[in-house]
Amino acid sequence: MTTKHGSYCTKITRFGLMNSYLVDEADGLTAVDTGMSGSAPAILAAAAALGKPIRRVLLTHAHTDHAGSLDDLMAQLPDAEFLCSPQTARFLIGDMGLEKGQPQSKLRGGFVRCTSKPALTVVDGDQIGSLRAIAAPGHAPDQLAFLDSRDRTLYAGDAFQTQGGLAVSGDMRLLFPLPAWATWHKPTALETARNLTALKPSRLVVGHGPVLDHPHKAMVEVVERAARNFQ
């Protein structure tokens, strides 16, 4: 399923559960996440329907449901750039070491191996077209979020979920527990959720679940719930 949200965001949903996005830019489209294996045709079809080329592919993190179609997509986009965090780039080649200063907790969730190499690596504060990169570790240590400077849409990866109910990563929702099961470090996930909530986004766009408009009040509430549940 493909759905337009606002002026710049198009959501591509696989099995009603896993989301990738196309962000409209002046020079074409930025794909945010590539979904699980087999998602490339739907992403390419959505771009074709919009009548614009995909110029760049951004990953939030290296879990298989976000990066599983990276190689397939890049093989069909020879002129597009692939960008990700430095740690995501290492994870994609099987270097799973945690960085100095990160909690040395066990990695959770499935990580994909890819042959695609990033044209650039992206860190907190970098600007990619209209999107500002924001460090968002917790669900995974390598995770980035992206805030659109034009309308303040927040592409949060798995820092939050809306499938099964809005939740901070790691705070279990029984109707859709997968993000909680795959969360690496709950205290860091909570800190990230607080930081993203403070941005007061106009729209919350996540890896799993529907897009949420005017989300700030609800984000505050689920951050408070997670803080209680993580004690």
Locate the domains of the chain by residue range. Answer: 2-229
Q: How confident is the model at residue 171 (pLDDT cuts 50, 70, 90)?
A: very high
pLDDT at 189: 98
The answer to whether 114 and 92 are in contact (CB under 8 A) is yes
The answer to whether 193 and 201 are in contact (CB under 8 A) is no
pLDDT at 135 over 90: yes
Q: What share of the chain is helix, strand, coil (3-state, %, to 5)?
A: 25, 25, 50
CATH 3.40.30.10 fits 2-229, yes or no: no
pLDDT at 27: 96
pLDDT digits (tens, 9 = 90+) for 172-231: 999 999 999 999 999 999 999 999 999 999 999 999 999 999 999 999 999 999 999 998
pLDDT at 88: 98
pLDDT at 15: 87
pLDDT digits (tens, 9 = 90+) for 13-69: 998 899 999 999 999 999 999 999 999 999 999 999 999 999 999 999 999 999 999
Q: How far apart are CA 31 and CA 204, in angstroms?
A: 16
The answer to whether 210 and 184 are in contact (CB under 8 A) is no
Percent of the chain with pLDDT over 70: 100
Q: How far apart are CA 218 and CA 230, in angstroms?
A: 18
Q: Cα 95 vs. chain centroid, distance in angstroms?
A: 20
Average confidence (pLDDT) over 159-163: 98
pLDDT digits (tens, 9 = 90+) for 57-110: 999 999 999 999 999 999 999 999 999 999 999 999 999 999 999 999 999 999
pLDDT at 49: 97
Q: How many residues does the chain have?
A: 231
pLDDT at 127: 98
In terms of Cα–Cα distance, which of 150, 118, 117, 157 is closest to 135?
Answer: 157
